[in-house]
Structure 1
Amino acid sequence: MSEINLFDTHSHLNSPKFREENGDEVAQLIADARANGVQRIVIPGYDYESNLRSLEIAGQHEGIYCAVGYHPCDLNDLNDDHYQKLYEWAKLDQVVAIGEIGLDYYWDTTTPELQQQMFRKQIAIAKELHLPIVIHDREAHGDILKLLKEEDAAKIGGIMHCFSGSWEMAQECLKLNFYISFGGPVTYKNGKRPQEVAAQVPFERLLVETDAPYLTPEPHRGKRNQPAYVRHVAEKIAALREISLEELAAQTTKNACELFRLT
């Protein structure tokens, strides 16, 4: 493999899908990622158990970090104790962000009112601890921007994870001090909109991710995603921007390290 240095900024190695089929295969997935030039990975939490699992994995492997948070579809059973635990986790050395948090109006597992309330609550924790936030946004573009502005989230910034919005929305996110991250959909034949945005985002605000085990990029679409496949995302964006994979990898890794305050 050529010497490239990729950073998968969003991979759910904490997912049960990486344990149910073949036992605990996380160590092999990390080794496969490194063989493909992926040197660092952030594992975002989405519920109580996944946050614990993220911390466990990060404690066992160099170059693996956590974001801790509660996903908008996993809020119904939370209480004050869960948020106190989130606050405690967020102070740990391996935690580099709060996430993934946000709004999801596609699924109806939680009400928009509850989602917005808990989104604000987690932004407040991030602001107090000076951590960036990792945003999940599904069919909620307008309210995401509205709440980020109301909560003055520009003070901490963060990532628009697996960005699916328009160039106009991307520009609004950039004004709010956010980085724009792209995953598998940018490689799809019907991925015209993310491709157009990925070609235009300022180079110093661009990130890559897998969202493994979901949203597998071409040429592996239809199979379970994994961190090694972020290379395909990076190759596609490099082609869109007419630069080398090495240059794209170096800049997106630099961007991620600056955002997460990693050396």
Structure 2
Amino acid sequence: MNFIDTHSHLFLEEFAEDLPLVMQRAKAAGVSRIYMPNIDCSTIKPLLDTVAQYPDYCFPMIGLHPTSVNSDFREELKVMKELLDQSHPFVAIGEVGMDLYWDRTFINEQFEAFETQIQWSAQYRLPLVIHSRDSFEEVYQVIKRNEHKNLKGIFHSFTGTVEEAERLLQFDGFYLGINGVVTFKKSTLPEVLKNVPLERIVLETDSPYLTPAPNRGKRNESANVKDTLMKLAAIYQCSPENVADVTTMNALKIFS
């Protein structure tokens, strides 16, 4: 049984000491591919170095994470745009979007950065991997304004309501990224997902964050995506193999 981790930051320093073992465990668990979203200019080199060490297994994205957007965000975007204009290995624009949980100081800059990176997605015909925290309505309206551009991608780490899921799935090319949050005791996601077709879901870990039960509290890694898969099999009352097959097909549609 093979499946895909569509969102993992294994290039971060949390994995510097044991990355080969982390990769071995992922492969042993059944992870056939790992997609890696960028954070900012400081992470581009470690991201690409990791991808080079694991060719045809790890695949990079390029983007500026909303929590990294500040007064010099245009300089960061300029560096990334120059890379996109060259022959490049990037399979998506990500991780991009809005985050108003920590701070609203740079909300206007976040809007501009998000819009700019949506233009990249359309220009280079690359999917978007969208981060949205305490900013559902803002993100929804931005995507709605750009709906005519035939965008596709993933709403990463979806934890919203049935109504929010329905609104996001109106965008035909988009899928919901489900990670370890669905295994948390107080999570409402299991009930919400009963209203979401499995055909619109992809698996992710967001490693090293959001570790699923039973390892919650420990560093997350790609092998743990299997725990999320098993939870989804219980929610959808189907075999783990079916969840693996459907979510893998969904991921490959996005990152084709």
Shorter chain as denominator, the TM-score bin is over 0.9
Q: When the two structures are superposed, what TM-score results if normalisation uses the length of structure 2? A: 0.93
Identity of aligned residues (%): 36
* In the alignment, structure 1 residue 17 sits paired with structure 2 residue 14: yes
- Counterpart CA distance in 1 for 2:244 and 2:164 is 24
What is the correspondence of 1:229-240 to structure 2 with a 5 Å cutoff?
229-240=224-235
Residues 110 and 43 of structure 1: CA distance in aligned 2, closer, same or farther (over 3 Å): farther
In structure 1, how many angstroms separate the alpha carbons of the residues matched to 2:73 and 2:187?
39
> TM-score of the superposition, structure 1-length normalised?
0.91
Aligned residue in 2 for 1:116: 111
- Cα distance in 2 for partners of 1:52, 1:196 equals 40
Extract unaligned runs of 5+ from structure 1: none
CA distance in 2, matches of 1:9, 1:174: 18
User: 1:110-140: CA deviations, max 9, x gaps?
Assistant: 4211111111111111110011101110000
1:201 aligned to which of 188, 196, 206: 196
Match of 1:104 in 2: 99
1:151 matched to 2:151: no
Please give the alpha-carbon distance, in whole angstroms, between the structure 2 residues aligned to 1:41 and 1:221: 21
Decide which moves more: 171-180 or 241-250.
171-180
Give the counterpart letter for 1:84 in structure 2.
K
Deviations 1:154-193 (A, max 9, x none): 612110101011111111111113101111110011012x
1:26-60 superposed Cα distances (whole Å, 9 cap, x missing partner): 22211110000011000111111212222221122
Q: 1:221 aligns with which of 208, 213, 216?
A: 216
1:179 aligns with 2:172: no
Given candidates 159, 181, 187, the residue that maps to 1:191 is 187
Deviation at 1:94, TM superposition (A): 3.2
Matched residues, number: 253
Write the distance in 2 (CA, Å) between the matches of 1:202 and 1:17.
34
Corresponding residue number in structure 2 for 1:8: 5
Q: Is the 8 A contact 1:154 1:178 kept in 2?
A: no
Q: Say whether the 8 Å CA contact 1:180–1:205 is kept in structure 2.
A: yes
Please list every run of 5 or more consecutive structure 2 residues that lacks an aligned counterpart in the other structure.
none
